[in-house]
Amino acid sequence: MSTSVAKTPLHKTIALCPTCLKELPAEVYADGEGVVWMERTCSEHGPLATRMWPDADHYLWLRNHAFPKTKPENTIPAGAACPYGCGTCSRHERRGTLLEIEVTRNCNLHCPVCFMSAETGEGDPTLAEIDAMYEVIANAVGTDGAVQITGGEPTCRKDLPEIIRMGRDKGFWGIEVNTNGLVIAARDGYLEELVFAGLTGVYLSFDGLTGDVYEATCGRDILDIKMKVIERCREVGIQVVLSVAVVAGSNDKQLGDLLRFCLDNADVVAGLALQPAFTSGRFDATRAMPMSAGDVAFGLAEQSDGLLDPYDIWPLGCSNPLCDTGVFLLKSDQAEHPSGFVPATKLLTDEEYRAGYSPDSPQGSVFLDILAARGHDVSSGLSIVIMNYMDATSMDVQRLRECSMMVTVPDGRAIPFCSYHLTDDSGRRVYPPWGKEELR
């Protein structure tokens, strides 16, 4: 990057070298066009500037809306520098609110943009190890926390109903399965079996509304399968959240269409989770251009036909304000927009939002809970969450220490999501599945 580029310093932080994963002092600045960059230099592997946000004013507005931090109650001593030694260590500044149990490496798809484990299925955790991971969650946040069962593809396990039932027997009220939906669509009665075991939500990967998107993200067109899963959820009476891996040049122009699809199906679609795809592997030596949550927020607003503004999407309070943002769209007879929906942020002041905020609300129901307490009918609304995951090029260690999304491993640790899935630029993981062979 040219040293002649105009820079307006915004703040200092700690980043990583993507090659050796060492902590490095970093400067965050806005360039002459108001784009936010994070720049650092490794003495061994050279400089790197990472594009972090499309608009400096919006970036600073979010940073200035951080919520008070609730530290985790049970931590391990801080040892190695970040991102090593997670567990959750005593440096961590926020407690977990969404905890994952990765139950398999196996998957019936091999999607190019997937960050999950998707290998042979050998060495999957036993039921005893999964029981231990449930205990990790109970120890970290109690049984009133949200649990997401993930993989690989969890429905590849024949004992998935037993895994769900195990969690319910331990007292967990919310158990969600993160799935591609292939098995749910193919097997009559299967979703009913999962619901009978205690499943409370389906977190369905749903990357777009045209077949070419799935050819790019999944390797084949499976849109009809996704639609069938949504219909099965409607028939069974279980809510579904549509999880979108937003990929620039693939589905980033379908954000508005996805929003309208969710509103049209709000009787069964409870949430829209937008996740800009993050990458691992090799990249240009001096410049990285990952898509950010800011790009998604601006794109969604631009494509929403006037329903949303980027500043309608607020921090959800559970983690760093640049990591988790969202809004709830309320169905209302008084809505001015033709859709009949109004953003919750048009109904609340910032002071009312903070006064009504509960740190015990799962990230997708923060607005819903506040509105319900104020007497609004939230039964047919839509929760939108934008999650800003980090890879080795975009890792901001301060944000990592505020992560509230954890992956559990049987030995008692709860590892921040972005640490658990982190790889160096050769694709080596710091924390392979279940923490069995850590990279040093």
pLDDT digits (tens, 9 = 90+) for 156-165: 999 999 999 9
DSSP 89: B
| Whether 421 contacts 115, CB under 8 Å | yes
Tokens of 9: 């310093």
In the chain, the N- to C-terminal Cα span, in Å, equals 31
Calpha distance 30→430 (Å, rounded): 31
Q: pLDDT tens-digit profile of 182-215?
A: 999 999 999 999 999 999 999 999 999 999 999 9
Question: What's the CA angle centered on 364, arms 358 and 370, to 5 degrees?
Answer: 40
Tokens of 135: 């205990």
Q: Look up the pTM and report it.
A: 0.94
Calpha distance 124→261 (Å, rounded): 36
Q: pLDDT tens-digit profile of 89-127?
A: 999 999 888 899 999 988 887 666 565 545 455 678 999
Backbone angles phi, psi at 166, to 5 degrees: -60, -45
Instruction: Return the bridge partners of 437, or none.
Output: none
Q: pLDDT tens-digit profile of 41-78?
A: 999 999 999 999 999 999 999 999 999 998 888 888 98
Tokens of 418: 């972005």
pLDDT at 438 over 80: no
**How would residue 285 be classed by pLDDT, with cut points 50, 70 and 90?**
low
* For residues 400-417, average pLDDT: 92
**How would residue 308 be classed by pLDDT, with cut points 50, 70 and 90?**
very high
Calpha distance 423→19 (Å, rounded): 9
Domains of the chain plus CATH, in order, are: 179-387 (3.20.20)
Calpha distance 368→325 (Å, rounded): 14
| Whether 204 contacts 240, CB under 8 Å | yes
**How would residue 217 be classed by pLDDT, with cut points 50, 70 and 90?**
confident
Q: Closest Cα to residue 134, out of 149, 121, 115? A: 149
Calpha distance 363→47 (Å, rounded): 36
pLDDT at 294 over 90: yes
Calpha distance 189→214 (Å, rounded): 26
DSSP element (H, E) containing 23: strand 23-30
Query: CA Rg, the chain, in Å?
Result: 21
pLDDT at 283 over 80: no
